[in-house]
Structure 1
Amino acid sequence: MFSKAADNMVNKLVKMKIIEAEDCELYRFGIETALLKGIHLISYLILGLLLGKTIELIIFLIAFIPLREYAGGYHAATKKGCYIISCLCILSMLLILRVFPAAYYSNSMYLAVFSGVLLLFLVPVESKNKPLDDSERAYFKSKAGFIIVLLLTLSLFLFMLNQFSLSFLLALVLFYEMIAAVTGKIILQKGKN
C-alpha cells in the first residue's frame, strides 16, 4: 500500500522534473518511511485521545524517540510487525498511566534508576539489520548515555518537586527502552549462537 503511494509520488516528481530518474529509489524509500512514521504517529495520537492521555503520550514520545534512536534494541522483522508491536507498547504504556493508582508513582525513582543504570551498560544495542562499527558504537553510546542521564536527572528533579506523575512517565520511558534493549541483546546473542 505505502510502496504504491510512494511510487506514484516519485513518478510524479520525475515527470515534473523535480527529481532525477536515477534518484528515484532514494526518494521512494524516504517517502515510504515518512508515510509509515506518519501512520504510526496518527495511531498513537488516536490511542492517546481514546484513553484521555494525549499530553502524557506527547511527553513520552518526545523523550522516547531520541533515546530509542541512539540506544537501539529490538526491531521487528517486518513493517507490519513493527507497527503492531509499537502500537501495543504505546497502548500498554497509556493503560499503565490510566490504571495504576497515583500511589504507585512515588516508586518511580526505583524504576528509573534500575532501568537507567541497566541501559547505561547495554547501549547501544545493534541489530542484524543495523550493525555498528567502532566509531558508530562510541557515538551512539555517548548520545544514548547523555539522554539516559538527562532523563534520570529530570525524573529525580520532578520527583523531588512532588511531580510524581511526570517522574513516573520519564521512568516509563527508560523502562520501555530497557525492555527493547534487553530483548534486542538476547535476540542478537541467539543469532550469533
Structure 2
Amino acid sequence: MNYISVFCGSSSGNEDIFIKQATILGQTIAQQGYGIVYGGARVGLMGAVADGALSQGGEVIGVIPGFLQKKELEHKNLTRLHIVETMHQRKALMNELSDGVIALPGGYGTMEELFEMLTWAQLAIHKKPIGLLNIDGFYDPLIMMSQRMMEKGFLKEEYKSLLIEANTSELLLDRMNTFIPLKNEKWFEPANH
C-alpha cells in the first residue's frame, strides 16, 4: 500500500474518543509512510484524520465535489485537492488513487462508501484490503450483521473475511498489510444443467 482512502463522518459524533482516534489514525498512517486520500473536508472526523496526518508531515489528498467546496467545507492545507462534480466521481477517484481502504465511524455516507468498496472486492473489481477501525465498539452491530448474513446463506465465509477489523490504528494497519486477496475470481457459482 502507498495510499489509503479513509471514509468517515463529516461530523465529530458525540463522544471525544471518535475525534481522538481519528487524529491518531491520521498520525499513524503518516508515521508509517502512507499517504491519505479522503473526502477533502476540514470538519468532523474527516478533518481530524487530515490534521493528524499533516501534523506528522504526511501527504493528504482531498477529493471533494464542487457543491461541498462552495459551502466552505474544504480543508485549506492539503497536499493536493481534486474537485469533482458528483459524489460518484469522488468515490471513483478515491478508489483510483488508493491501494487500501479504512472506514471509521460515520453515517449513511460512510456506510455507502464502505459497502461499495466491499461489493467491488467481492466482485473482484479490486483486490485492496478494506479495514474497519472499530472505535469503542461502534461497528460491533455491523460485524454481528455480517455474521448473520453468513449464517443465513447470503454471504460466503470468504467474503466475510474481506472486512478487516481492529480497534487500534496500528493493529488495523498490521492486519491490512498481511491481507491476501481472494484467489476465486468467480462470484457466481456455475448453474447446474
Same fold (TM over 0.5): no
More helix by share: 1
Kindly indicate whether structure 1 or structure 2 has the higher relative contact order, using CA contacts under 8 Å at least 6 residues apart: 1
TM-score (norm 1): 0.25
Instruction: Please identify which structure carries the higher strand content.
Output: 2
- TM-score w.r.t. the length of structure 2 is 0.25
Q: Which has the larger radius of gyration?
A: 1
